[in-house]
Structure 1
Amino acid sequence: MSIENKLAELGVTLPEAPAPAANYVPFVQVGDMVYISGQISAGEDGTLITGKLGDTLDVAAGAAAARRCAISLLAQVRAACGGDLDRLVRVVKLTGFVNSTVDFTQQPQVVNGASDFLVEALGEAGRHSRSAVSAASLPLGVAVEIEGIFQIR
């Protein structure tokens, strides 16, 4: 089954790859590796998912925001692959940044929203190494930002 078909089965339609908001590129390809710039949490309609974990957001809301970041990462991978997402070989690594209070310690559970989605959508190719860290604040007040490294053919 193609990746796009699996996403459709999950009820997910990838958005157009978000354009960078400053002087950087959304992805860089080196050999068969694609490095995707951080994708911030935004809903299907493009509205930013903002808030601070441990204050205005709970873990479930943070995980949902992380899932949206993973969807944007796949949109960038599709763009890097010239529109053919089936060129994706595997997810190599994610780095998740969680906008959270000083005493919040459940960053891994938040970033699980992205990791679980990628495994659900891609199977074994979605399994990856990962870091999940806290941030005192993130751009535009978003809840989560995730960057990724992907292998393509």
Structure 2
Amino acid sequence: MSAFVGGGDNPAFTLTNDGFWPNIDGDDLRAAQRIGADVSNMRLETAAVAAIISINRELRPLKMRHLAAGHDTLQAVPADQVNGTSELVHTYLRAIYCTTSAEVAERYRNYDTTNSGTAKAEEENTSADDYRRDARFAIRDLLGISRTTVELL
């Protein structure tokens, strides 16, 4: 069990994805994003399911292209490997993990009205924004498009 996960309060869980995209291991999500035992499995699962639905919808055209090319899973799509896993899988998991973490960070803000509580809430809000940015970067990387959008005014 991870050092970031409390004792028996949060037993291991896996969220089954659609077969093309990889499943999400709750313990890996907790450890990678340093989500403590104060966030229950029920709340973590709810945030992760919302992330999966959102990211999978956004990436549906990419999935359809890969399926049409004969690749039944994201892991089967030709790509460089990192630690024995497709870089595409790592990037997809990053999108899911960061989107989940953004929701968790927002839901667990400290609403204390003292100066320290306000500073902590602002710090966590920045963290949620950082998670969203990292998720956007991962999605854009999967889609093979630039991370920067520039418009002429």
TM-score, length-scaled by structure 1: 0.29
Which structure has greater strand proportion?
1
After TM superposition, the score normalised by the length of structure 2 is: 0.29
* Greater gyration radius: 2
User: Between Structure 1 and Structure 2, which shows a larger proportion of helix residues?
Assistant: 2
Higher relative CO (CA 8 A, sep ≥ 6), structure 1 or 2? 1
